[in-house]
Chains A and B, each alone.
Chain A
Amino acid sequence: GAVVSQHPSRVICKSGTSVKIECRSLDFQATTMFWYRQFPKQSLMLMATSNEGSKATYEQGVEKDKFLINHASLTLSTLTVTSAHPEDSSFYICSARDDGGPAKNIQYFGAGTRLSVL
């Protein structure tokens, strides 16, 4: 149990295009999901908290218009990197917080998306 699916796993795009990344909790409900960015050999940096049915909460320094988040259901959150530029190239990871049961409040992570902007 507790599987989080993240797609795509790898994206290569041209500068100026938009890229959408999906994060799904497959066997549990997640009112709250999180989006992180990870640079090589560094820890995870929280970008935003995605809340089902309401606006996402962004961390300081993260551009809301650049990184659009939609949490349309209790099992799906999407991150859209708009007008991507080479400096947006990174490893993006999502997590989903289990809403209930013994695993309540544990964050389970997706496999990550490696974005390369040319």
Chain B
Amino acid sequence: AQKVTQAQTEISVVEKEDVTLDCVYETRDTTYYLFWYKQPPSGELVFLIRRNSFDEQNEISGRYSWNFQKSTSSFNFTITASQVVDSAVYFCALSGSGGSNYKLTFGKGTLLTVNP
């Protein structure tokens, strides 16, 4: 069975601070995919990144960066110089590959509040 744990339920920071959202996963699959989605107050889930299990290279996209470490089964997300518009619920998710394995297993989400 697959499992995603986001231990941080809520995080509150002041604008311009850096913040890291933690994600730990469990899976028996050798091929799997990890995702991060952002859900602003409007409700729509916005795709941020996908990583496959064979690519441990860290990625940076603007103020966003992701650290994937298979050794610790973690896929952490860092926002540098946070802004008020970053306030949202962030979900980490996991899927396998092939057939019904493409279903996403979501973590419980982390509510990030960035205060001016």
Interface of B (DSSP majority class): mixed
Q: Tell which of A32, A97, A109 touches B45, judged by Cβ atoms closer than 8 Å.
A: A109
10 A-B residue pairings within 8 Å (CB atoms): A34-B104, A41-B111, A42-B108, A44-B45, A44-B106, A46-B104, A105-B102, A110-B44, A112-B44, A114-B43
Which residues of A are found within 8 Å of B100, using beta-carbon distances? Answer: 49, 57
Which residues of A are found within 8 Å of B64, using beta-carbon distances? Answer: none
Chain A interfacial positions (CB closer than 8 Å to B): 2, 32, 34, 41-44, 46, 49, 57, 91, 93, 95, 97, 105-112, 114
From B42, B45, B95, B103, name the one whose CB has the most chain A CB atoms within 10 angstroms: B45
B-side interface residues, number (CB < 8 Å): 22
In the complex, whether B37 has a CB less than 8 A from a CB of chain A is: yes
Contact B43–A105 (Cβ < 8 Å): no
Given the known interface contacts A2-B47, A42-B108, A49-B103, the answer about A111 and B91 at a Cβ–Cβ threshold of 8 Å is no
In the complex, whether B16 has a CB less than 8 A from a CB of chain A is: no
- A49–B103 CA distance with the chains assembled, in angstroms: 8
Contact A34–B103 (Cβ < 8 Å): yes
Given the known interface contacts A43-B91, A43-B109, the answer about A109 and B104 at a Cβ–Cβ threshold of 8 Å is no
